[in-house]
Amino acid sequence: MSHSLTTAMSSFRANGDDFAPANQAQLKNIAKAMDAKLEGGAGVELHILVNSWSSSSPQTNDFAPLNIGQLKNVVRPFYDRLIAAGLATSYPWSASSNPADDFAAANIGQVKNLFSFEITPGNVVDDPLGNRLAATQLAGRRAEGVGL
């Protein structure tokens, strides 16, 4: 895992109880931190979601339990970027022949597991900075004719 992503996960590693229930604020905090650390973020879909969290309402309960479906919904844009960059081939939960109960409570260990993806060193041919996600983003712009 890259250093910046490791830093974003440090608050979760400090908690030794991976089986403790996770709450919505914990997911929001790690998603915001990972999005900020990831070159170019996780994309427009996640930016819209994160921005919606900044406005609070009486119905907002950040200490409400997090369920598996909510966790997968927030982590999906990160894996979309990883899949597009060739750093992952599928969502981690899609390989299971026994689908998870999306309404079941999520625990800290599951959150840590889904956000523990590793970004390998870059392809120096495509990106002089060695950032594979940035190289993929640049290649996408080239394909679209943007910035040429």
Using CA atoms, how far apart are residues 146 and 2, in angstroms rounded to an integer? Answer: 28
pLDDT in tens, 71-112: 999 999 889 888 888 888 999 999 888 888 999 999 999 999
Domain interval for residue 49? 3-120
Token pair recorded at residue 134: 């940035």
The answer to whether position 101 is within a domain reads yes
Confirm whether 125 is domain-assigned.
Answer: no
In angstroms, the CA 123 to CA 130 distance is 6
Whether pLDDT at 129 is above 80: no
Span 26-40, average pLDDT:
84
Task: Give CA–CA dist 139/127, Å, rounded.
Answer: 9
Please report whether residue 128 resides in a domain. no
In a domain, 136, yes or no: no
In a domain, 48, yes or no: yes
Q: How many domains does the chain have?
A: 1
Residue 127 within a domain: no
Is residue 28 within 8 Å of residue 53, measured between CB atoms? yes
Q: Per the structure block, which two tokens stand in for 135? A: 């190289």
Residue 141 in domain? no
- Total-model pTM: 0.71
For residue 2, is pLDDT > 60?
no
